[in-house]
Structure 1
């Protein structure tokens, strides 16, 4: 019932606390104490942008407003595509409340690519030269929003880059080079002594990861290796200066944040071109026979006794003192293909989740990660046990990285800048020695 027909000091429903002003139901005798509706216009958001750049939620890095409804129309030249990624994300923890929708085309009626919300994010690429981004917030909780970056990219068939713990490979199609007026034989890297292999269709640079002028940097929690492919017009510089276009293809290879490599893209900025690629660190996980971690267990399955100490280590294949590792999670399962139906956590969010777990160097992480746990068996299941561990890979010099502050009982809102590269590995099986198998009492019931 409307407050207007029930005025009086005893009508508590006609108070500001119950949003009388917002719903137009404040009694006249409550006007003096009711908050005056704000007349401040909502900050402008959305619009059209071209080629490459950044855009943010309203008020970012401060809090966005309730009821935001923003649309960005991104466009590049007809022969290029758009690559979109998020550098920061903090929204209400409700994917149906505050969210970002991505559309593959010039309008909200274009093909739906996906949703970004608190707790889930991704990168997106368009199939044409346009992309549309929608941001909406409801009337409840707000956050500091997001910052997004978009780049103009060429279709993947023009070139690619991939890296591993050992080497980097850059492949450029000669058809692409011809279209911008260059020949494959004129190309060189930041270290001009590194030469490519040139075939009739491709130019290929393949070299050790930390050579040929590669520069390693840490950005938004990821390890990125960078270089540049260059060429002079006709391959012959004249004099000390030139007014001819100088070809520069920036190469960034980002080590993936999980164990699966993503697609590679050729990117363009206004002045230079860019190849954006991804790779993965090669890492291994082994059982060891003792806490000295000198001798790897080679038998499979690894036969153990109940409550026997198990010693587990993960390390990068290639030694690099600039990186440190720490366990994010370790979960056990009786099924090597399913760690979700019956998971048993040994480590969770960097914390010991089992009373027998001991994490080595927990407060002083190294370039390897180690922990110890007592052997056990799943009831009503196979006598075999498999382990799946996720380790974070961090910059040793970053004192604020997750590797330095692993055990987090309560997670705070997600900030993409604090993420670290990670690897997920599976180890096993462990099998109980025959005399010590446990019988499930429920199986003996008639």
Structure 2
């Protein structure tokens, strides 16, 4: 038991917040694994260091009772107070305290306490206040854990010792000196340095210093990951005057980061069976640049608890199949489970004797889609609910997230090359009705384009004619199109999209609305456009509503409602339906022959001059391109006259 308790404290040495030019950091974590018959305990020691330069170096020696020395650097502008939370935790619930080292050549070399810094020993927080000069300040701390009640330790030879709780008066005042061994379970030296750099123009987070925003987790959050399932932390930072170009993180060996857009990153890690039951720390900071100066955000750390996989996910080109084992959830009520989109009756879960099973198309059931430079990630989740009408809850409910990741060069788009079928919906007061979304060859809206011809091809700038029609057994109804948008993927949750109609108002200047033949029909056209970037296809998705005709209290009767119009209302039962998403596509966009010929017919001298100019710009911008990769793809219409 004594051996286990000695290694029970898990200490994370903070990630450095120094800039890339002088970055040094390290982490150490000791995890007990197995107790052998001879009384010895097998432990895993996770150790990581980062150095200024790229070379292999490892030199770490463990002496009895003194394991875990490392050196690291943190950076702070000299005029900006900042607090560093030393992430410490004890799985047994013991009290963990940090103090300055006091025993020379054992706990510290110089045993100095730098001026301008205060150490909150009880909460293990180092506060920087101010200093008289810039430079590097070294810290030699000791992390100790104390029992909360008196505990007897029995060794393998039969002898026993006791460990006593920390005296209350010492706990309130702090430690600040060595305590008798009768109080301490474990001691781990914690050594690092803080670089006090030149002043920042402002200490307000979000101006020059990056500021974390949603969906970045809070410092100290406890998150759950499943064995053999990819775990993801979403990190987003903003700054008004500097450019957020990177994050620096520390985590398990196989942890990776992926840039989603400027200031947005995903940290991903897949736990193995060997890590089952671990509490794994992952820390990160955001780094921004202004002129030649680097600025760092606060440091945030989270604890990731590794659990058994809750769901088995099978990915194919058009769908995800998820299997949730009932035995993993003792209080599971399979009748109260749903996916992201509970309104779609085609997305219901079913069960057999052992599992709850869901078949989820990649473009339905509320599946979310995100992308980075290399991959598309489709995600959804199974949640529990008490009442199907609930929007919020204040109870801890089951949430099982699952996803499928596809390389952009793979075959994921093969599932989206067919014509989308009509959508049939049943709602109280409106019975069963069907939405039909089709493309037409001209503004006469005669025969629709044959579904066998999909994907449809259009030249940039060519008119695209569309018609949305509702078929309902209730005659006294009217169709209203609240919004329409274009996306590279057949998914209304994909962001960003290009808005065409929003709040009933046309946003694209090329939109033309044509008279319908009856109240449950909407006809319009738009000039064909391409997405700027690698996307070669477009889907049109619309949000539509059926309302009682002639009723002035419905959404349909108000028509275009600008965003500044703040009227909030609750949907009245029986006079209008909920909003339903329908989509059609894909459309393939191509450049016109005139456009291609004009490009190839450029004067060679002009082309040569342009090539030289681009080469010069590339040389000038090379460093920035190396440090900050391209931003997210932008979307806008292209006219046929653009060159």
Shorter-chain TM-score range = 0.3 to 0.5
TM-score for both structures, normalised by structure 1: 0.36
Q: Between Structure 1 and Structure 2, whose CA radius of gyration is higher?
A: 2
Structure with more contact order per residue of length (Cα contacts < 8 Å, sep ≥ 6):
1
Q: Given the two structures, how large is their TM-score scaled by the length of structure 2? A: 0.25
